[in-house]
A and B are shown apart, each in its own frame.
Chain A
Amino acid sequence: GESVGLHLPTLSVQEGDNSIINCAYSNSASDYFIWYKQESGKGPQFIIDIRSNMDKRQGQRVTVLLNKTVKHLSLQIAATQPGDSAVYFCAERPGGYNKLIFGAGTRLAVHP
């Protein structure tokens, strides 16, 4: 909804540029990390996930990088388009638990 994300950090990029959204996670025992995209007024939508035994995974126009040494996750979006404008959340799954812990989110604003 429009009131969600009022105080979120914002990344502004030009259309066609590459975007990098960063996330710090908290639990060294987490076994999966996931990126979600949330457009205004909609529920979060799964983008891509990565297991903890990997350091990179690629999808269509997106790449997720995992650095377990510093507990850092990033989402790279190639050739950013206006339709990529949204709030992006990272999430981690504490190993063995049926739940996800979400970060606060980053708003991506794509300008023509």
Chain B
Amino acid sequence: NAGVTQTPKFQVLKTGQSMTLQCAQDMNHEYMSWYRQDPGMGLRLIHYSVGAGITDQGEVPNGYNVSRSTTEDFPLRLLSAAPSQTSVYFCASSYADRVYGYTFGSGTRLTVV
């Protein structure tokens, strides 16, 4: 069981570039979410999905898009990268009836220059 897999692990982007952070889980979890983690701060929710075809915004959605075409995958798209999006990004998943017990991926460290 791989759990939650995030790719890439590291990425450097130039301001204005776009990219997609990949997240895949093999646990048949209904719920998936994306968080960003900045120094001295907790994790902040960007977007989440309660099932295929359903997504919603979290606390800090601006500059990011998501889609959920399958149960397994939940990619996060940066539309036009900005230095303020330099962060560590975590994807998490859980069963719908256990939203509080997330399984996290190992993260993607993104630097925007």
Give the B-binding residues of A (Cβ under 8 A): 1, 3-8, 32, 34, 36, 41-46, 49, 89, 91, 93, 98-105
Known: A1-B107, A42-B107, A44-B90. A104 touches B41 (CB 8 A): yes
Report A-chain residues with C-beta under 8 Å of the C-beta of B99: 93, 98-100
Q: What are 23 A-B interface contacts by the 8 Å CB criterion?
A: A1-B88, A1-B107, A3-B39, A4-B88, A5-B40, A6-B40, A8-B40, A42-B106, A43-B104, A43-B106, A44-B43, A44-B102, A44-B104, A46-B103, A49-B100, A93-B100, A98-B31, A98-B50, A99-B33, A100-B102, A102-B42, A104-B41, A105-B42
A7 touches B39 (CB 8 A): yes
B101 touches A46 (CB 8 A): yes
B102 touches A46 (CB 8 A): yes
Nearest Cβ distance between residue B107 and chain A, in whole angstroms? 5
A5 touches B102 (CB 8 A): no
Chain B interface size, under 10 / 10 to 19 / 20 to 34 / 35 or more: 20 to 34
B48 touches A98 (CB 8 A): yes
Nearest Cβ distance between residue A56 and chain B, in whole angstroms? 17
Q: How many A-B residue pairs have CB under 8 A?
A: 72
Chain A contact residues, majority secondary structure: loop
Q: How far is the CA of A93 from the CA of B92 in the complex (A)?
A: 15
Known: A1-B109, A44-B90. A32 touches B100 (CB 8 A): yes
Report A-chain residues with C-beta under 8 Å of the C-beta of B27: none
- The 8 Å CB contact of A104, one of B40, B45, B50, is B40
B58 touches A99 (CB 8 A): yes
Q: How far is the CA of A105 from the CA of B38 in the complex (A)?
A: 11
Q: How far is the CA of A103 from the CA of B43 in the complex (A)?
A: 8
- Name the residue on B nearest A46 (C-beta): B101
- Name the residue on A nearest B99 (C-beta): A98
Question: Mask for B83-113, Cβ within 8 A of A = 1, else 0?
Answer: 0000010101000000111111111010000
Q: How far is the CA of A7 from the CA of B41 in the complex (A)?
A: 8
Report A-chain residues with C-beta under 8 Å of the C-beta of B102: 44, 46, 100
